[in-house]
Amino acid sequence: MKFIRVVLGALILFFNWVFTPRSIKRSSELQQQVDKNVKGFTLYQYKACPFCVKVRREIKRQAMKIPTKDAKRDQQSADELVEGGGRLKVPCLKIEEAGTVRWMYESSDIISFLQQKAA
Ligand SMILES: N[C@@H](CCC(=O)N[C@@H](CS)C(=O)NCC(=O)O)C(=O)O
């Protein structure tokens, strides 16, 4: 079972690498605005999780600068996720804005939210 998961993970990463999406090109003012919109965001994720790959691809497509934390390999990140978000489930977007902190689970919700921030 573990072997199958490792092979599938490697395949996901390989195809993600081969078909890396292009980043959108914006004017520098627009890009600065998008950078500002996502400034306090952090993505908690696993490297080979397909839902995380889906979110990372959208981040790349949208040319967003969002730091990632690996909640599988880094115990501190896993603890932060459980303490803050309430569950060890990825992907999860930590959203720090306007003095508040929110934790958003579900890849489709995260992608829709990021698309709004890019609009
Ligand atoms: N529907 C979720 C699925 C996320 C999911 O199943 N993530 C897995 C890793 S690939 C996970 O964190 N599993 C741990 C758990 O569910 O407790 C999404 O689209 O984000």
Ligand 1, CB within 6 Å, residue ranges: 46, 49, 51, 88-91, 106-107
Q: What is the reported pLDDT for 1? A: 83
Three-state SS at 27: coil
**Domain 2-118, classified CATH 3.40.30.10, yes or no:** yes
Whether the link from the prior residue into 91 is cis, omega within 30° of 0, is yes
Find how far residue 75's CA is from the centre of its chain.
18
pLDDT tens by residue, 98-119? 999 999 999 999 999 999 999 8
Three-state SS at 43: strand
Instruction: Tell which one of 90, 111, 113 to mutate to probe ligand 1, the residue whose CB is within 8 A of the most ligand atoms.
Output: 90
Q: How far, in Å, is the centroid of ligand 1 from the Cα of 90?
A: 5
Q: Which of 53, 51, 63, 55 is nearest to 118 (CA)?
A: 63
Q: Which of 114, 20, 4, 84 is nearest to 69 (CA)?
A: 84
Q: Find the mean pLDDT for residues 38-66.
A: 97
